[in-house]
Amino acid sequence: MQLEKDLQSIQDMRDAVKKAKEAQAKFQAFSQDEVDRIVKAMADAAYEKSLELASLAVQETGLGVVEHKVIKNQVASRDVYQSICDQKTVGIINEYKDQKMVEFAAPFGVIAGIVPTTNPTSTAIFKSLIALKARNAIVFSPHPSAAKCTVEAANICLQAAVAAGAPEGIIGWIPQPTMEATEGLMKHKDVNLILATGGGALVRAAYSSGKPAYGVGPGNVPVYIEKTAEVSKAVGRIVDSKTFDNGTICASEQAVVVDRNIREMAIREFKNQGAYFLNTEEKKRLEPVISPASGKLNPKIVGRSARVIAELAGITVLEDTRLLIAEEANIGKDIPFSIEKLAPVFAFYTVDGWQEAAVICERLLDLGGRGHTLAIHTTDDEIARAFALRMPVSRIVVNTPSALGAVGGTTGLKPSFTLGCGSFGGNITSDNLTAHHLMNVKRLAYGIKHVEIPKPGSTKVQVSSKPAVQSAKEEQIEEVVGKVLAKVGAAGNIDKETIVKLVNQVISQI
């Protein structure tokens, strides 16, 4: 019965949180060396199982490409570990002797980890590593269609952690997740923080749970090929990025914006690299397949290959077709090619110069990608910086595949599978989330400045309609004039100009 499944799921969640709380109470007393040994063991184990987990994810969800999910798992384990391994998360983490202030790390406690179906194993690995690095426990709520592979990833991390000395239960999960159990996890009294990666409704639920929460927004990422770009390299990077894991990374490009004077060159390069440009009739047939209702993405195309998506619309393409592209001039929820498409499908916009490109990019971001990412290919650094200043995004990646650059795979950004969108996208942070976002910082601050505190009633307060500074000046002038007049009275008659001159002389001395 459905009721029994729901009740069992809720009970599993409660049991996992109880164990996690008990484990975290022990774990928070571990030394930095002990924590680091545990985190390294987890990263090594997950990296070793990258292929196994990738295969399991594709088998269970039907989404993406095994070889690409292997790379995701490797980034989530090896690259994330390398980015946090030297970070201090226990005891004193900073000391500022000139300010006489010392900073101490403190864990949050138990974290609720929400995992999407698009990146089910890599996200679980990533969140496990950063949670335990900061001495937290974590309980996962997988997506129902990816529960087995997510639980397996979490279990690999748990077993490695326990073998290295971590308490049992430090990583937990809901084996058969339901919406009721997920909501219950986010509102559980013993959960201290929510780390949510998933659809908009789930992220909103996390923010409205009453708990501190990190959530991320959608990524309707525009990519601009500016006229000075190396077109062949730019197109190659874009195609590799958009087709990576069949477009399931939220930082993958969604619409390409091209300067008119390199348009034909760009089209030729896209075709040479496996893109199929739809004609007017084919475009009309594919639009309802992309979005059956205004602003809504069809889940049946998410993470599917270009060929499979074309077949859904009754369009025949070559077997080696990697990407479907349609020329577009409009933007809106009712324009399917302009919305976020977690699949190898592109809108193609032609513009006259970077300023028109900026307008198109802003409109695309306003449609559903504010705060996330924008990609640009150019050799003109001034234009890249102009876009960085103007665009309402947290990441501007230059001359690199956006899907990999935004998550820190090909850039200097922190390796992360939870990308904050800042206030642009309704998030609390614009960072690539990592371990330091999951710990409190306590500050020991010594007094370094002396402030005299007047006793009540020790100062006479005068009420005046004039500003205090002006009144003081007027009193000072009156006092000076009085002294001058006294001297004048003793000396006999004197003209007004002489008085003024004398007053000015005295004031200048003051």
The enclosing domain of 171 has a CATH number of 3.40.605.10
153 backbone φψ class: left, alpha, beta (φ>0; ψ -120 to 50) = alpha
Q: Cα–Cα distance between 66 and 56 in angstroms, integer? A: 9
The DSSP 8-state label assigned to residue 145 in this structure reads G
Q: Are residues 149 and 281 in the same domain?
A: no
CB 372 within 8 A of CB 217: yes
Q: Cα–Cα distance between 162 and 130 in angstroms, integer? A: 16
Q: Cα–Cα distance between 110 and 116 in angstroms, integer? A: 20
The per-residue b/e assignment along 264-283, b for 16 or more CB within 10 angstroms, e otherwise, is eebbebbeebbbbbbeeebb
pLDDT of residue 494: 60
Residue 262 lies in a domain: yes
pLDDT of residue 502: 64
Contacts of 322 (CB under 8 A, 6+ apart): 239, 243, 273, 274, 275, 306, 344
For residue 325, which of 282, 379, 364 has the smallest C-alpha distance? Answer: 282
User: Could you give the C-alpha distances from 243 to 108, 316, 346, 493, in angstroms and in order?
Assistant: 37, 19, 10, 100
Residue 129 lies in a domain: yes
What SS3 string covers 312-345?
Answer: HCCCCCCCCCCEEEEECCCCCCCCHHHCCCCCCE
Q: Are residues 168 and 104 in the same domain?
A: yes
What is the token pair recorded at 375?
């990609």
Residue 169 lies in a domain: yes
Helix (H) or strand (E) holding 151: helix 147-163
Residue 205 lies in a domain: yes
CB 190 within 8 A of CB 110: yes
What is the token pair recorded at 170?
């430090």
User: Which active-site residues does the annotation give?
Assistant: 250
pLDDT of residue 480: 63
Q: Are residues 276 and 364 in the same domain?
A: yes
pLDDT of residue 5: 84
Q: Are residues 479 and 365 in the same domain?
A: no
Residue 418 lies in a domain: no
Secondary structure class of 276 (helix, strand, coil):
strand
For residue 291, which of 391, 201, 357, 220 has the smallest C-alpha distance? Answer: 220
Residue 26 lies in a domain: yes
Q: Are residues 50 and 87 in the same domain?
A: yes
Q: Cα–Cα distance between 501 and 487 in angstroms, integer? A: 14
pLDDT of residue 47: 98
Q: Are residues 345 and 482 in the same domain?
A: no
Q: Cα–Cα distance between 376 and 85 in angstroms, integer? A: 31
Q: Are residues 170 and 264 in the same domain?
A: no
Q: Are residues 250 and 362 in the same domain?
A: yes
User: Could you give the C-alpha distances from 207 to 197, 220, 333, in angstroms and in order?
Assistant: 12, 21, 24
Strands (DSSP E) found in 197-273: 213-215, 221-225, 253-259
Kindly give the parts of the chain with pLDDT less than 50.
Answer: 468-469
User: Could you give the C-alpha distances from 484 to 69, 382, 492, 495, in angstroms and in order?
Assistant: 91, 66, 12, 13
Angle at 355 between CA 361 and CA 428, to 5 degrees: 40
pLDDT of residue 377: 98
For residue 251, which of 133, 403, 367, 394 has the smallest C-alpha distance? Answer: 403
pLDDT of residue 66: 97
Helix (H) or strand (E) holding 56: helix 50-61
What is the token pair recorded at 478?
């009156």
Rg (CA), the chain: 31
pLDDT of residue 85: 97
User: Could you give the C-alpha distances from 124 to 79, 194, 485, in angstroms and in order?
Assistant: 14, 14, 88
Q: Cα–Cα distance between 229 and 259 in angstroms, integer? A: 10
Q: Cα–Cα distance between 289 and 295 in angstroms, integer? A: 12
User: Could you give the C-alpha distances from 301 to 55, 234, 270, 284, 359, in angstroms and in order?
Assistant: 20, 25, 21, 16, 29
- What CATH number should be reported for the domain holding residue 366? 3.40.309.10
What is the token pair recorded at 101?
């202030």
Q: Cα–Cα distance between 67 and 454 in angstroms, integer? A: 72
Which residue pairs, CB below 8 angstroms and at least 24 apart, start in 103-106? Answer: 103/441, 103/442, 103/443, 103/444, 104/441, 104/442, 104/443, 104/444, 105/134, 105/135, 105/439, 105/440, 105/441, 105/442, 106/439, 106/440, 106/441, 106/442
| Rounded (10°) CA dihedral 469, 473, 475, 481 | 180
Q: How many domains does the chain have?
A: 3
pLDDT of residue 469: 47
State the amino acid at position 428 in one-letter form. Answer: I
Q: Are residues 277 and 379 in the same domain?
A: yes
Q: Which residues constitute the domain of residue 139?
A: 2-216+435-445
Residue 461 lies in a domain: no
Q: Are residues 408 and 275 in the same domain?
A: yes
pLDDT of residue 468: 47
**How many helices and strands, by DSSP H and E, does the chain display?**
18, 15
Q: Are residues 308 and 178 in the same domain?
A: no
pLDDT of residue 438: 97
Q: Are residues 199 and 309 in the same domain?
A: no
Tell me phi and psi for residue 31, to 5 degrees.
-80, 170
